[in-house]
Amino acid sequence: MTKNQAFTILQHAGGIRCARIITENAKKLTRFRVLWYAHQLRRGVPVAKIIKQKWFYGIKFYTNRHTLDPRPDTETLVSAVLSDKITNTPTRILDLGTGTGCIICALVKNIHNASGIAIDKSRRALRVARRNINTLNLSDKIQLQHATFDTPNKFKERFDIIVSNPPYIAHNDKRVNRGATFDPAIALYAKDNGLGAYKTIAKNAIKWIKQDGKLYLEIGIDQGTEIKNIFMKNGWDLLRTENDLSGTERVLVFMVARQ
Q: Is pLDDT of 50 > 90?
A: yes
Helix (H, G, I), strand (E, B) or coil at 190: coil
Question: What CATH class has 72-256?
Answer: alpha beta
pLDDT-derived band of residue 259, with 50, 70 and 90 as boundaries?
A: low
Residues above pLDDT 90, as percent of the chain = 78
C-alpha to C-alpha distance for 133 and 178, rounded to whole angstroms: 29
C-alpha to C-alpha distance for 197 and 217, rounded to whole angstroms: 11
Q: Is pLDDT of 234 > 90?
A: yes
Higher pLDDT, 86 or 219: 219
Mean pLDDT, rounded, for 106-115: 95
CB neighbours of residue 55 within 10 Å: 13
Tell me the residue type at 89: T
Q: Is pLDDT of 174 > 70?
A: no
Q: Do 220 and 166 form a contact (C-beta atoms < 8 A)?
A: no
Q: Treating both helix axes as pointing N-terminal to C-terminal, what angle do 123-135 and 102-110 enclose, rounded to 10 degrees?
A: 30
Please state which of the ranges 75-84, 103-112, 153-162, 243-252 shows the lowest mean pLDDT: 153-162
Query: How would DSSP label each residue in 234-247?
Result: TTEEEEEEEE-TTS
C-alpha to C-alpha distance for 165 and 201, rounded to whole angstroms: 11
Q: Is pLDDT of 134 > 70?
A: yes
DSSP state of 180: G
Mean pLDDT, rounded, for 163-177: 83
Domain range list for the chain: 3-51, 72-256
Mean pLDDT, rounded, for 238-246: 95
Q: Is pLDDT of 38 > 90?
A: yes
Mean pLDDT, rounded, for 60-68: 95
177-226 tens-digit pLDDT: 777 778 888 888 888 888 999 999 999 999 999 999 999 999 999 999 99
Residue 152 pLDDT = 63
Mean pLDDT, rounded, for 158-162: 96
Helix (H, G, I), strand (E, B) or coil at 115: strand
Helix (H, G, I), strand (E, B) or coil at 75: helix
C-alpha to C-alpha distance for 168 and 149, rounded to whole angstroms: 14
Q: Is pLDDT of 49 > 90?
A: yes
Q: Where are the beta strands (DSSP E) in 78-233?
A: 91-96, 114-120, 142-146, 159-164, 209-218
Q: Average pLDDT over the chain, rounded to whole? A: 92
